[in-house]
Amino acid sequence: MSLTEKKPVKITETVLRDAHQSLIATRMTTEQMLPIIEKMDKVGYHSVECWGGATFDASLRFLKEDPWERLRKLRDGFKNTKLQMLFRGQNILGYNHYADDVVEYFVQKSIANGIDIIRIFDCLNDIRNLETAVKAANKEKGHAQVALSYTLGDAYTLDYWKDIAKKIEDMGANSLCIKDMAGLLTPYRAKELVTALKETVDMPIDLHTHYTSGVASMTYLKAVEAGCDIIDTAMSPFALGTSQPATEVMAETFRGTPYDPSFDQNLLAEIADYFRPLREEALESGLMNPKVLGVNIKTLMYQVPGGMLSNLVSQLKEMGQEDKYYEVLEEVPRVRKDFGEPPLVTPSSQIVGTQAVLNVVSGERYKMVTKESKKLLSGEFGQTVKPFDSEVQKKCIGDTKPITCRPADLIEPQLPKLEKEMAQYKQQDEDVLSYALFPQVALEFFKYREAQQTRVDQTVADIDNKAYPV
């Protein structure tokens, strides 16, 4: 590229979703987000990723917030900036496959409530699990970005990535994302991959990575030079470690070059000042574990994404087995190989991680097997790139006959039944979707919400007969 030809890199800001998901277990509240939106809206971001992923579950389960309400408030605040969410294909934001009618309705409601760009991925890169969501996003006039879960292994050649990218373009996606959730993509590999994809497909390419292995900023630099259109960054107080490279640093890196996004560093500094006390608070309370802030080049050996690292730490802590941390990290790639070498991203990362924990803690491999491991080995999540280890599969699922079709083909429409089950709690159309994804957690939340709304005056309530004045 000539030095006069401008091609500003577009930047997706992750501080309201992936950054706090990776560093503080998705605990940032809507109340903490709202005061800074006006300033963030002036930056000139390509988009702000603020919803989806684990935010939905965490809002209901831990923060006692309605995720739909959060989205509507964010939409009201961001007047000039596109809002983006992360969507797990046929898993939506949950951990199981859902019927097509639920997927279609969730996409419809996400866009109706304010989402512009839906990043859709499948934990196994089984593109059969992406089709329904992509079609639904196109139907609703949303932007369907399909993310390839990047990983390493014998099967993941340049030809594999080119082939799958072409299929995604043919499926009707509007852009392509390389989703490097574990920070495995090194700078020169990124240059090679982006160059190959640019020659294969004619659509914008977004690169998403994590700083876990310490190379992410350099990876972005080489990717952008190779033609990558969009990069995902996080405001510095919630950057680095298992999160993304810092927004201010990447903007400064490209200053005065053809890739300059022309961000105002003074404005970015004000935004960083806002988030810094939230970081300090998280460190003081122990919500942010210093373990996830360092660089771990062993990530390239273990291929463990950031969110999964913090999960493993807390699982072992609960069991009082923290000293087994490195043993578990070494067991992860072995379990992954047994399970057909899937990329490690939600939910496959949780499945492989939990199984690795059980294998180490119980002292015998596959003595205890989770129901999710059984589902994966039975084909209920779709097809892995490589076959399962047949002995491990036999030990875990016995004579169960694995399925080979698209898993959702076996699921009857679910919405009518779900509507009926939760009718008494319904206050908005979207409630049925919260219930569909997390039945128990949603019911707890609905009850909490009801209690908040109907603060009963104990002096006029007939407590014995549960008769409260309307």
Q: What is the mean pLDDT of residues 355-369?
A: 96
Determine the pLDDT at residue 257: 97
Give the number of other Cβ atoms within 10 Å of residue 365's Cβ: 18
Query: 304-404: same fold as 10-290?
Result: no
pLDDT tens digits for range 274-285: 999 999 999 999
- In this prediction, residue 359 has a pLDDT band, given cuts at 50, 70 and 90, of very high
Q: What is the mean pLDDT of residues 330-356?
A: 92
- Statement: residue 466 has pLDDT above 50: no
| Residue 155 to residue 212: CA distance in whole angstroms | 23
Determine the pLDDT at residue 70: 98
- Which of 49-53, 124-128, 265-269, 314-318 is predicted least confidently? 314-318
Top pLDDT among 161 and 329 is at 161
Q: What is the mean pLDDT of residues 399-411?
A: 96
| Residue 211 to residue 336: CA distance in whole angstroms | 22
pLDDT tens digits for range 430-461: 999 999 999 999 999 999 999 998 765 555 55
Whole-angstrom distance between the N-terminal and C-terminal Cα of the chain? 70
- Statement: residue 272 has pLDDT above 80: yes
pTM here is: 0.92
Determine the pLDDT at residue 313: 82
Determine the pLDDT at residue 1: 54
For residue 270, report the phi and psi dihedrals to the nearest 5 degrees. Answer: -65, -40
pLDDT tens digits for range 201-252: 999 999 999 999 999 999 999 999 999 999 999 999 999 998 999 999 999 9
* Closest C-alpha to 297, from 184, 209, 409, 197: 184
Determine the pLDDT at residue 31: 98
Q: What is the mean pLDDT of residues 349-353?
A: 91
- In this prediction, residue 292 has a pLDDT band, given cuts at 50, 70 and 90, of confident
Residues contacting 375, CB < 8 A, separation 6+: 96, 381
pLDDT tens digits for range 29-51: 999 999 999 999 999 999 999 99
Secondary structure in 3-state letters for 148-190: EECCCCCCCCHHHHHHHHHHHHHHCCCEEEEEECCCCCCHHHH
pLDDT tens digits for range 180-203: 998 999 999 999 999 999 999 999
- In this prediction, residue 294 has a pLDDT band, given cuts at 50, 70 and 90, of confident
- Statement: residue 348 has pLDDT above 70: yes
* Closest C-alpha to 208, from 188, 226, 227, 185: 185
Determine the pLDDT at residue 434: 98
- In this prediction, residue 177 has a pLDDT band, given cuts at 50, 70 and 90, of very high
Beta strands, E only, 360-407: none
Determine the pLDDT at residue 467: 43
Q: Does domain 304-404 have CATH number 1.20.58.220?
A: no
Q: What is the mean pLDDT of residues 318-331?
A: 92
Top pLDDT among 432 and 96 is at 432
Beta-bridge mates of residue 117: 84, 143
pLDDT tens digits for range 120-143: 999 999 999 999 999 999 999 999
- For residues 34 and 2, the answer to whether their CB atoms sit within 8 Å is no
- How far are the Cα atoms of 333, 345, 376, 419 from residue 329, in angstroms, in the given order? 8, 15, 20, 42
pLDDT tens digits for range 55-67: 999 999 999 999 9
Top pLDDT among 464 and 408 is at 408
Residues contacting 358, CB < 8 A, separation 6+: 367, 368, 369, 370
Question: What percentage of the chain carries pLDDT values higher than 70?
Answer: 95
CATH number, span 10-290: 3.20.20.70
Determine the pLDDT at residue 159: 98
- Statement: residue 462 has pLDDT above 60: no
Instruction: Share the mean pLDDT of the chain.
Output: 93
* Domain ranges across the chain: 10-290, 304-404, 413-454
